[in-house]
Amino acid sequence: MARQPAQRSSGAGAPAAPGVWLGPARPGSLPFGLAVFFSLWLHAGLLLALVWAAPRGAGVSLAAPAIGRVALVSLPPPPEPAPPAAPEADRVVLPETPTAPPGRAQPQPDPEPEPEPREPESYEDVLNRLRAEAGEPAPAAAPAASRAAPPGRLASPEVLLWSRRAKVHVTRSWVLGPDMQGRVLEAEVAVLLGPQGQVMSISLRRSSGDAWFDASVERAIGKASPLPPPPEAGVWVFRFRPKDVL
């Protein structure tokens, strides 16, 4: 009895056999017994897990910890209303809109701007998941994760793809004199993009402290217009910070 499996494992092939459960099962042989033993244990374990998980709503709570952790780590501050509120003087408005006719650029007046309520809801979602993870009963009517993207979530592939293309496009337009290189400068601009990627206005959100650097940044954005059509018209933020060249 003991010789047979030994022969098989060395004869029928070390390459094929290891770890494979599908070998010719011989009733009464030791591996078969082991298999039954493990199988039983697995089934029992599965059953136990199901019983344990059932009252907590299996599907949602299983996924929750991962999402909860991500959200906690990179929970951003409340949405920044800064760009539109930037002082008038900082803004460079291009007088002519290049491609899109004004009618199209004018969005449907949205009576109820949504971004405000969205954020707290997402936060609640995260809290609910944490409660669930900790074994607390979820408050009634906690919305599932199907609504708006929780903060800190990875942007959609569409947005990421466009961001990359926009980055290449703007980089191509940015000219920086050698005297600027090797200096630690950083500026941030909020750019209002039309649906076709046309730059409709530029607002300096954070100055580098160097007027000439800021000018080069605004020039780069102006020159890059039209950018590749964004996934969505509106304000997009670009941060300019040259690598240390020299």
Partner 1 sequence: MSRAARAGGAALLWAGLAFGAGAFAAERPVIDIEDARQGRYRIAVQRFYEHPGEDGKTPPGGEALHRNLLAALEFSGVFAPLEESAFAAEARSPALDDEGSLRCNAWRALEADAVLQGDLQHTELGGLRARFRLWDVPRCQRLIRAQRFSGTPEQAGRIGKAIADQAVEAFTGLRGVAETEIAFISNRSGHPEVFIMDADGGRQRPVTRNGSLNAFPSWSPDADSLVYTSYRYRNRPRLFLATRAPRPAGRILRGLGGGAPLYRGAFAPAGSRLAVVMSAGGGTELFTVGLSGGGLLQITRNRAIEVSPTWSPDGERLAFVSDRSGLPQIYVMNARGGRARRITFDGVYNAAPSWSPDGRWIAYQTRVNGQFDIWLIDPEGRVNVPLVTHARSDEHPAWSPDGRRIVFQSGRRGRADLYAIGVNGSDLRRLTERGENMHPAWGPFRR
Name residues contacting partner 1, limited to 90-129 (CB under 8 A): 91-96, 98, 105-107, 109-110, 113-115, 118-119, 122
- Choose the binding region for partner 1 from 15-23, 53-61, 82-90, 123-131 (rule: CB under 8 A): 82-90
153 binds partner 1 (CB under 8 A): yes
The token duo for 166 is 């926009």
Residues with Cβ within 8 Å of residue 105, at least 6 apart in sequence: 97, 194, 195, 198, 200, 233
Answer yes or no: are the C-beta atoms of 117 and 78 closer than 8 Å.
Answer: no
Compute the least distance from the CB of residue 61 to partner 1, in Å.
24
Rule CB under 8 A: say whether 28 interacts with partner 1: no
The residues that bridge with 235 in the sheet, in sequence order, are 192
Considering the complex, what minimum distance in angstroms separates the CB of residue 236 from partner 1? 6
Q: Rounded to the nearest 10 degrees, what angle do helices 58-73 and 30-53 cross at? A: 70
Q: Does a cis peptide bond (omega within 30 degrees of 0) precede residue 226?
A: yes
Choose between 84 and 139: whose C-beta lies nearer to partner 1. Answer: 84
At residue 233's C-alpha, the angle toward residues 230 and 238, to 5°, is: 65
Nearer to partner 1, 128 or 240 (CB): 240
Which of 151, 196, 197, 208 binds partner 1 (CB under 8 A)? It is: 151
Interface residue with partner 1, options 26, 43, 104, 172 (CB under 8 A)? 172
How far is Cα 178 from Cα 88, in angstroms, rounded to an integer?
31
Residues in contact with partner 1, total (CB under 8 A)?
81
> Site residues for partner 1, window 194-233 (CB under 8 A)?
194, 200-201, 203, 210-212, 215-216, 218-223, 225, 231-233
Tokens at residue 200, please?
Answer: 């409709």
Closer Cβ to partner 1, 127 or 180, answer by number: 180
Contacting range for partner 1; rule: CB under 8 A; set: 5-13, 22-30, 85-93, 137-145 = 85-93
DSSP-derived secondary structure letter, 52: H
Cβ-Cβ contacts under 8 Å for 60 (sequence gap 6 or more): 129, 132, 144, 145
10 or 74: CB nearest partner 1: 74
Hey, what amino acid is at 203? S
Nearest Cα neighbor of 59 from 158, 129, 116 is: 129
- Out of 19, 27, 137, 178, point to the residue binding partner 1 (CB under 8 A): 178
By CB under 8 A, is residue 243 in contact with partner 1? yes
Q: Which is nearer to partner 1, 113 or 135 (CB)?
A: 113
